[in-house]
Copies of this chain bind each other. A is one copy, B any other.
Amino acid sequence: MNDVRWLNSDELQAWKKFVAVVELLPGVLDSQLQRDAELSHFEYFVLAMLSEAPDRTLRMTGLASATNATLPRLSHVVARLEKRGFIERTPCLEDRRATNARLTDVGFEKVVDTAPGHVTTVRENVVDPLTAADVDDLDRIMTRILSTIDPEHRFNPGALGETQPTD
């Protein structure tokens, strides 16, 4: 097992910077949301995904997939958000094993109030330092990486149309 293909200089340099971003970015997003809305980025993302769904409702499994989370993690988080009145859980009628998570009116308000500050943070730290070409490159590169690490290949088909206050 001595035939290891080490990273060359360019690859190593890019990788180190990528690691730094992956390490630092969550903290940036979390602290703004924590400060302004008492929400972690993941919690915000859960609410945002629900706000886009038909009838603001998604099954736990679907929501887990939309937020790149494991089911146990999501279960804990939704339980907390339910206690705070942002989400309500109801049994699913078609499949009685399943649970529907629905964004309440209060939860929707929360997203609407929180979105502007969050988008500003995303712009300042990620989007605005990039050119339009960079954004295309970023999309292409992330798509390629996701093709390996995304367990469900949700992003491959490449649907998605115009959207709104999403994120």
**Partner-B contacts on A (CB < 8 A):** 1, 4-7, 9-26, 28, 42, 45, 67-69, 115-116, 119-120, 122-127, 129-130, 132, 134-150, 155, 160-167
Contacts and interface: CB of A to CB of B under 8 A. Distances in A.
29 contacts: A1-B116, A4-B116, A6-B119, A7-B119, A9-B161, A10-B136, A10-B139, A12-B163, A12-B167, A14-B139, A15-B122, A15-B126, A15-B167, A18-B126, A18-B142, A19-B167, A20-B142, A21-B149, A22-B22, A22-B26, A23-B67, A23-B68, A23-B69, A124-B148, A129-B144, A129-B147, A134-B137, A134-B141, A141-B141
Nearest to A155: B17
Nearest to A1: B116
* Consensus secondary structure, chain A interface: helix
Given A25-B22, A155-B17, A130 B141 contact: yes
Contact of A11 (B19, B127, B149): B127
B18 A138 contact: yes
Given A7-B127, A134-B137, 15 more contacts: A7-B123, A9-B160, A12-B163, A12-B166, A12-B167, A13-B139, A14-B142, A17-B146, A20-B142, A21-B145, A23-B67, A24-B146, A125-B149, A129-B144, A137-B137
